[in-house]
């Protein structure tokens, strides 16, 4: 890590929010790095305090405020620096946002506010960050292209890598889904959300959780105690 904004990203990976970070000015920082760390190759933050060299990027603004000979208003200067670095780090992160990134954030805010219902808001708030980003991108694609079985297959591959989606050849608007995970309340709610969001309303879905349904002449699906009759 080099810049303060990297600490903001690492904070989330380490299990705490950006707001919990506390930036403090270092008296012995490197002239080549903004973040002051004993272990340069550290990939996660061990705690919420981040030492920053205030003169690395902001020498003109901070030189007088953090002069070594200045001893007055120390607590005030510490609070000012913490607020300043949080603000600057936020600006740094926003500079890398594209038009699509802003659209994803607006979409997420709408969903969490209950635009698609309270149940959808709960499910969205429960998704892991990596999966949530993929899900939001596919919802944007849904708005552009409309609901379809192919888009439902794509979102299932993203959310459940071991899943398989079949369109029935015998019955119109019938979809068979092998999820590949244990059936739990949390997963049931997620699948209901994905089904309602990405499939046309007149489609009927059959879910198979841990065990695949048997397919004649496909030995992998015809294992005793490892198959479901359909």
106-115, 125-134, 165-174, 209-218: the lowest-pLDDT one: 209-218
Beta carbons within 8 Å of 159's beta carbon, 6+ residues apart: 131, 134, 135, 190, 194
Q: Which residue ranges make up each domain of the chain?
A: 4-95, 99-228
Residue 194 and residue 134 in contact, taking contact as beta carbons nearer than 8 Å: no
What is the per-residue pLDDT across 165-214, written as a single tens digit (0 to 9) for each?
888 877 888 898 888 899 899 999 999 999 999 998 899 998 888 876 65
Distance CA 140, CA 108 (A): 11
Structure tokens at 15: 């299990």
Relative to beta strand 164-167, strand 174-178 is antiparallel
Q: CA–CA separation, 159 vs 165, rounded Å?
A: 13
- pLDDT tens digits, residue range 53-99? 888 888 888 888 888 788 888 899 899 999 999 999 888 888 767 78
């Amino acid at each position: 890590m080099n810049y303060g904004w990297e600490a903001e990203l690492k904070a989330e990976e380490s299990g705490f929010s950006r707001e919990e970070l506390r930036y403090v000015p270092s008296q012995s920082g490197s002239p080549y790095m903004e973040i002051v760390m004993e272990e340069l190759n550290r990939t996660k933050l061990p705690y919420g305090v981040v030492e920053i060299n205030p003169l690395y990027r902001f020498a003109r603004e901070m030189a007088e405020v953090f002069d070594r000979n200045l001893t007055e208003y120390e607590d005030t200067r510490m609070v000012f620096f913490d607020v300043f670095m949080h603000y600057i780090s936020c600006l740094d992160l926003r500079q890398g946002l594209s038009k699509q990134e802003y659209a994803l954030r607006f979409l997420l805010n709408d969903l969490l506010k209950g635009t698609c219902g309270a149940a959808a808001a709960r499910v969205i708030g429960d998704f892991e960050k990596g999966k949530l980003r993929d899900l939001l991108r596919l919802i944007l694609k849904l708005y552009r292209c409309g609901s379809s079985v192919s888009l439902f297959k794509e979102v299932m591959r993203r959310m459940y890598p071991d899943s398989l989606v079949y369109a029935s050849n015998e019955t119109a608007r019938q979809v068979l889904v092998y999820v590949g995970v244990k059936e739990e309340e949390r997963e049931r709610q997620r699948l209901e959300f994905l089904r309602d969001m990405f499939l046309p309303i007149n489609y009927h879905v059959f879910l198979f959780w841990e065990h695949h349904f048997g397919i004649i002449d496909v030995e992998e699906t015809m294992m005793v105690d490892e198959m479901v009759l359909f």
